[in-house]
Amino acid sequence: MASTENQLIERLPQAARKQLLDQCEPFELTLSAELSAPGTPLSHAYFPREGFVSLVVGVDSHPSLEVGMVGREAMLGAELILGAASTPWRALVQGAGASWRIGAAALRTETATNPALLRLLQASVLVRLHQQATASACERYHTIRPRLARWLLMSQDRAGTDCFHVTHEFLALMLGVRRVGVTVAASALQDSGLISYRRGEMTVLDRQGMQAQACSCYAADKAIYTELMGVAA
């Protein structure tokens, strides 16, 4: 059976892992729950074991746009180790599952006394900065269909399943495009036999084919993670 532990926690030496988990508590990631909001002090950090969280920002009166995704490969709330008290985005649970949660003060104490944890979290922050820079260029230069394929692959990676619930309205929000654009792109992927979509249930039928359809940013994200974290995503 595949591990459902957070990958950062898995990589810690045994003593450092125990030291961290002694300060954590189990926390269920509930679909659509808001874990942080812009300008609101961060009370906790989260190590997802299953599911994933989207980081979304709003600009003026425009609809919100996803700028990042956090699953079991990372931690939500890494800004705390940089001395930040809040973030500019909302953190919304898009894939339900289990996680570990640690209080902000406890995390700061842990990183001060647990060098292995601090190194991993610093590398994880650097990965996200690179990936967010890539995402900005992707939103500007790549068309909807390859961006949609990329998003679905990223979600599949973090959900740990070929099937998950998602609507065209939500996909439009995450990609920052009109709903009709998502409908056309999803229909093309479905007509090609790569996905199945019915009443909000999305199933990836041909992962290899989807990787061929996805923009280059999907492979670039995974390469960045491998390079900076020293392990495949």
Question: What CATH architecture does domain 143-214 belong to?
Answer: Orthogonal Bundle (1.10)
Q: How far apart are CA 90 and CA 53, in angstroms?
A: 10
Q: How far apart are CA 166 and CA 164, in angstroms?
A: 6
Q: How far apart are CA 232 and CA 214, in angstroms?
A: 19
Q: What is the CATH number of domain 7-139?
A: 2.60.120.10
- pTM, full prediction: 0.90
pLDDT band at 99 (very low <50, low <70, confident <90, very high): very high
| Domain range list for the chain | 7-139, 143-214
Cβ neighbour number for residue 210 with a 10 Å cutoff: 21
**212: exposed, middle or buried (Cβ count in 10 Å: 0-12, 13-18, 19+):** exposed
Predicted confidence at residue 233, as pLDDT, reads 65
Contact 203, 190 (CB under 8 A): no
The per-residue pLDDT of the chain, averaged, comes to: 91
Residue range 138-176, pLDDT digits in tens: 988 999 999 999 999 999 998 888 988 888 888 988 888
Predicted confidence at residue 159, as pLDDT, reads 84
